[in-house]
A and B are shown apart, each in its own frame.
Chain A
Amino acid sequence: MKLKNLMLMTTATALAAPAAMAQDMADSMTLVSWGGAYQTSQVRAYSDPYTAMNPDVEIVWDESSPEAVARLRAMEEAGNITWDLVDVVGADAIRLCDEGLAMEVDHDEILAPAPDGTSASDDFGDLIVSDCFIPQIVYSTTAAYRTGVEAWEGRTPESICAIFDTENFPGTRTLERRPINNMEWALLCDGVAMEDLYDVLETEEGIDRAFAMLDTIKEDTIWWSAAAEPPQLLADGEAVIGTSYNGRWFSAIEEQDQPIAMLWDAQVFDLDGWIIPEGLPEERLNRVLDFVSFATDTQRLADQAAYISYGPARASSAPLVGNHADLGIPMGPHMPTDPANSERTILFNYEWWADYRDDLDARFQAWLAR
Chain B
Amino acid sequence: MQDAFVAFDRVQKSYDGETLVVKDLNLHIGKGEFLTMLGPSGSGKTTCLMMLAGFETATHGEITLDGKPINNIPPHKRGIGMVFQNYALFPHMTVAENLAFPLEVRKIGKSEREEKVLRALDMVQMGDFGGRRPAQLSGGQQQRIALARALVFEPELVLMDEPLGALDKQLRETMQFEITNLAHRLGITVVYVTHDQTEALTMSDRVAVFDDGRIQQLAAPDTLYEEPQNSFVAQFIGENNTLSGRVTRIDGDICEVTLDDGEVIDAVPVNVSAVGDRTLVSIRPERVEMNKDRLAPDAHTLKAEVAEFIYMGDIYRTRLRVAGRDDFIVKTRNAPDQRRLKPGEQIEIGWRPQDCRALDA
Is there direct touching of A and B in the complex, by C-beta distance under 8 Å?
no
